[in-house]
Amino acid sequence: MADSSQIVSVPLAERGYDVLVGTRNLGEAGDFLCQRADVSHAVVITDQNVEEPHAVCVVESLAEADLQVDLLVVDAGETSKSIDMVDGLWQQLLELGVDRKAVVVAVGGGVIGDLAGFVASTYGRGISLMQVPTTLLAQVDSSVGGKVGINLPGAKNMVGAFWQPVGVLIDTAVLDTLPQREYRSGLAEVVKYGVILDAEFFEYLEANIAGLNDRDAKVLRHVVTRCCEMKAEVVGQDERDQTGQRAVLNYGHTFCHAIETVCGYGKYLHGEAVAIGMICASRLAERLGRIDAALTARQRDLLTSLQLPVEVPEVDHDALLEAMTRDKKVEHGRLFFVLPSRLGHVELVGDASLDDARAALENK
Ligand code: NAD
Ligand code: GLY
């Protein structure tokens, strides 16, 4: 393990695992895996944007660790999270003679992590999974915590499982090849962690805007490690998203999902919609007397410095409100929002009305 690498443990007893965060450590994938799983065959699943050089580097490392290695490459993009793609991958695993001594290694962003993870959770009633996330969003969020799944037409992430990996290997240097817009989108999730769980971390982000914008290796290692620590702690408390503790990760997401639905998937990247959603949620918290305007302004300033959007798009607000009432976070007709009560602390709030939500959209 390189001197600068750090290990974060996900505290889930027999399902617990390590997240290794380093820079230029993809070549450690083979040793990292063999120290944590008794496997002899690895099937690396990636997409065509990540295959060269990152997935190939992982394949070489796994082969050097004396594993039989196969590489499966799927189309990049959200449409690959489909049952047709899963079916195709199941068939390929069968043809490759994959058995219980095999591990699926997901090398890619959240799409590949969710898709390959779902395949691992179902093939042969479940085989081992290792995550090697290559987008910032996947490094700070989706690769940790075991949520895997695919979309149904018109229903995102509707079919899936909780399937924890045997380990997560993160190389922040792979972010060098990530398109700028994808990178910035991941930064929104990073800011989210500061607002919901760690005021000091939020201050660190405010103090390191240049390092964040320049993808400075030291800043990125600290940021990714701290986000993984927070995610690990939340997942350790509420693995299956049942007690409300894991729901804090959905800060900004009720507004975000409505914006994604009404504007059409593709107009905004997820993190961009999260950035706008966080500002709406913060304004809602202001309206309910939970925080003052200064906290919303701080979030807006930080997100803007990271070149993320913060303005609600010019669409019909009734359509946004209707989409919100159809969101998964509606229970017994009540809208639930994750709202800050101070920097670094949020609560699940069930007493906001649709009028309050409308005012937050309209910035009244
Ligand atoms: P993505 O996986 O589609 O990746 C974005 C784009 O970047 C793709 O074109 C991909 O090919 C490319 N790419 C990835 N790594 C690259 C690299 N290092 N260099 C160059 N290009 C690279 O998108 P994403 O934002 O990572 O993930 C979004 C998905 O994650 C959604 O499907 C969402 O539902 C899911 N998600 C899951 C969880 C969870 O807990 N399981 C949490 C959040 C989001
Ligand atoms: N990304 C939200 C969760 O993992 O619960």
- Does residue 309 have a cis peptide bond before it, meaning omega lies within 30 degrees of 0? no
Closest approach atom of ligand 2 to CA 231: 4
- What are the backbone angles phi and psi of residue 168, rounded to the nearest 5°? -125, 125
The pLDDT of residue 184: 98
The pLDDT of residue 54: 98
Closest approach atom of ligand 2 to CA 250: 2
pLDDT digits (tens, 9 = 90+) for 286-342: 999 999 999 999 999 999 999 999 999 999 999 999 998 876 556 666 788 999 999
Listed in sequence order, the DSSP H helices in the chain are: 29-34, 56-64, 83-95, 110-122, 136-137, 180-197, 199-207, 209-213, 217-237, 253-263, 270-287, 293-305, 317-325, 354-362
Question: Do residues 267 and 312 both lie within one domain?
Answer: yes
Cβ of 249 below 6 Å from ligand 2: yes
Residue 87: CATH number of its domain: 3.40.50.1970
Domain C-terminal end among 143, 177, 211: 177
The pLDDT of residue 169: 98
Question: Do residues 169 and 293 both lie within one domain?
Answer: no
- What are the residue ranges in the chain where pLDDT is below 70? 2-3, 327-333
- Ligand closest to the CA atom of residue 260: 1
Question: Do residues 172 and 189 both lie within one domain?
Answer: no
Cβ of 134 below 6 Å from ligand 1: yes
Q: Residue 306, SS3?
A: coil
- Ligand closest to the CA atom of residue 234: 2
Q: Which domain holds residue 234?
A: 180-362
Question: Do residues 184 and 254 both lie within one domain?
Answer: yes
Cβ partners under 8 Å of residue 88, min gap 6: none
The pLDDT of residue 1: 73
pLDDT digits (tens, 9 = 90+) for 73-122: 999 999 999 999 999 999 999 999 999 999 999 999 999 999 999 999 99
Cβ of 189 below 6 Å from ligand 1: no
Question: Do residues 200 and 167 both lie within one domain?
Answer: no
Closest approach atom of ligand 2 to CA 144: 4
Question: Do residues 206 and 141 both lie within one domain?
Answer: no
Question: Do residues 273 and 246 both lie within one domain?
Answer: yes
Between the CA of residue 314 and those of 234, 259, 311, 353, what are the distances in Å? 35, 10, 9, 22
Question: Other C-beta atoms within 10 Å of 216: how many?
Answer: 15
The pLDDT of residue 329: 58
The pLDDT of residue 351: 83
Question: Do residues 267 and 343 both lie within one domain?
Answer: yes
Domain C-terminal end among 159, 177, 195: 177
The pLDDT of residue 153: 86
Question: Do residues 195 and 313 both lie within one domain?
Answer: yes
Nearest CA to ligand 2 atom 2: 249
Question: Other C-beta atoms within 10 Å of 142: how many?
Answer: 23
Question: Do residues 214 and 149 both lie within one domain?
Answer: no
The pLDDT of residue 357: 94
Nearest CA to ligand 2 atom 5: 246
Number of domains composing the chain = 2
- Ligand closest to the CA atom of residue 192: 2
Question: Whole-prediction pTM value?
Answer: 0.97
The pLDDT of residue 79: 94
Cβ of 141 below 6 Å from ligand 2: yes
Question: Do residues 135 and 188 both lie within one domain?
Answer: no
- Ligand closest to the CA atom of residue 248: 2
The pLDDT of residue 264: 84
The pLDDT of residue 330: 61
Question: Do residues 146 and 206 both lie within one domain?
Answer: no
Cβ of 110 below 6 Å from ligand 2: no
Cβ of 49 below 6 Å from ligand 1: yes
Exposure class string for 118-139: b at 16+ Cβ within 10 A, else e: bbbbbbeeebbbbbbbbbbbbb
